Amino acid sequence: MLRSLSRLSTRLPVRGVSATRCFSAEVSQDWTDAWNAATENMASNVTFEESAEILRNLTKTDLLRATDLRDSPSRFFEAHRILARHAVDHGPGFWIRFTVHYNLFAGTIVAAGDEEQVGRLADYQAAGELGCFGLTEKLAGVQSGLVVQTTATYDEASSEFILNTPHEGARKNWISQGFVADKAVVLADLIVKGESKGPHAFVMDFRQSGSLVPNVTIDDMGTKTVGNDLDNAWIDFTNVRLPKDSLLRRYAEVDGDGEYQIKGNVRPFDMIGQRLYTGRIAVAQAALEYRRTLYAKTKAYSDAKKMFAFKGEPVLSEIPQLNSLYEENDAKLKELDDYVGECERALGEVLKEGGTPDTRLVDCIATAKVKAVEDSIEMVHRLRQEVGSFALMADAGFKHTDFLQCCKFAEGDSRILMSKIARDRLRLVEKGQDMDSDEGKQALGLAMAMKKHLDNGASKQEAWDNEWKGIYELAETVMARVMKDGPKA
């Protein structure tokens, strides 16, 4: 019975909720059928080399192009949703590998590269070449915010950039696909004429003929609780020379005189940051799809599981607490699906126009990510508690629930995003704005509590840490309002 459930798990609908969330006519039924057929044989019991080869072959089908994030964002997001359903049976490894290549690697080139650099993506795709994304560092992980200490120093004599890891703490950390990637987008602090220009993105050859380029060192992050078909590496650079055209140069470049030039009125890192927004939507959807599929699979079991009774033939699904949980999950999924869908549509419009999301949409996307992931973690945990020994079975789907833990810290840890939401709200209070609403009064109360710590000699960090509960409570209040208002006024 469990084997049949495994085969059916990506097709079973949950009561009241469509198993396929498709928000645009751009995604045809023919394309959806083709993508399902191309991805239905995913497996977790493969090596990371075998998993990478599956992705290489998938990219070469051209069903999803490297530029679809800009040209057909609905197709981009639907591809992620479909793959997330496989994670119940096969774990998160392939989904993460996929989004690293299409969103983080290719998406950054689309957002920050010029026409020539974006054009190269078609060549990479035809050759089945894969990319990784070097942002996070050992001392600046998911719970530390965004810090980049890796340096790319412009050498005027050779017109090259010299990429360096200045110390062990600046090693790129947890870089998915690091053991197989042919290309890499690396975030580094650009140094020109001895002056830091801040984080910029560079695209580089990471391997040539299957071997790492000189002066790059990597090692394995170790065995994980889930997703071991995905390779994760730390990466160290020692005087790695990159050609001048490695700098993604749509919005900034180093000119022929060795001078740093901003092109237009968009900061390069703002466009690089777009990947965090698209990633947060994709992660939110992945958490919801994983949860939807696991609930559907569990309900198929409980609908068929007969129980002892003196009269009739009741089934496990009729137990009041389990039936109530199914109904609660349906309602919450519907609300979150609708909200995340609104965020996807709003962001899709921005992506097609080549712009950046406004503050309202940024807050909505952060809220979508936090709420979809945290609610899914809670609802899956509660489901596990109600279905007895079924949750212990290897084929039931519960063994891969650490996928939701991956979602929690991917593209901005939930706590980091909540801290940012609260900090932004406190800044309005500092400016004397919107203090009369209940939310404003809550923010003002928090600001006054933090001021007392400061007046007593505490540092800003100490005041923040002392009021951490109030910070998260304020974030919850803001997120509730953001969800109610939606991404568009």
In single-letter form, the type of residue at position 115 comes to E
What's the rounded Cα separation, in Å, for the pair 422 and 445?
13
169, 149 in Cβ contact below 8 A?
A: yes
pLDDT tens for each residue of 225-240: 888 999 999 999 999 9
What's the rounded Cα separation, in Å, for the pair 400 and 290?
10
Residues of the chain with pLDDT under 70: 1-25, 141-146, 271, 273, 489
What's the rounded Cα separation, in Å, for the pair 14 and 78?
18
75, 63 in Cβ contact below 8 A?
A: no
Q: How many CA atoms lie within 13 A of 162 on its CB side?
A: 13
What's the rounded Cα separation, in Å, for the pair 331 and 168?
48
Tokens in use for 179? 């053991």
Q: Going by DSSP bridges, is the β-strand pair 195-205/183-192 parallel, antiparallel, or unpaired?
A: antiparallel
What's the rounded Cα separation, in Å, for the pair 289 and 80?
10
283, 198 in Cβ contact below 8 A?
A: no
What's the rounded Cα separation, in Å, for the pair 274 and 113?
13
Angle at 257 between CA 252 and CA 258, to 5 degrees: 55
CA distances from 173 to 138, 232, 270 (A): 5, 8, 22
pLDDT of residue 27: 86
In order of start, what are the domains of the chain with their CATH numbers?
131-265 (2.40.110.10), 414-485 (no CATH)
pLDDT of residue 203: 98
- pTM of the predicted structure, to 2 decimals: 0.90
% of the chain residues with pLDDT over 70: 92
201 three-state secondary structure? strand
In b/e form, how buried is each residue of 407-419, taking b as 16+ CB within 10 angstroms? bbbbbbbbbbbbb
What's the rounded Cα separation, in Å, for the pair 220 and 173?
10
The alpha carbon torsion through 108, 111, 112, 116 (nearest 10 deg) reads: 100
pLDDT tens for each residue of 431-466: 988 778 999 999 999 999 999 999 999 999 999 999
DSSP of 292-312, one letter per residue? HHHHHHHHHHHHH-B---SSS
Closest Cα partner for 229 from 103, 126, 87?
87
pLDDT of residue 13: 42
Helical (H) or strand (E) element with 110: helix 106-112
In single-letter form, the type of residue at position 252 comes to A
Pinpoint the alpha helices (H) of 354-395: 359-386
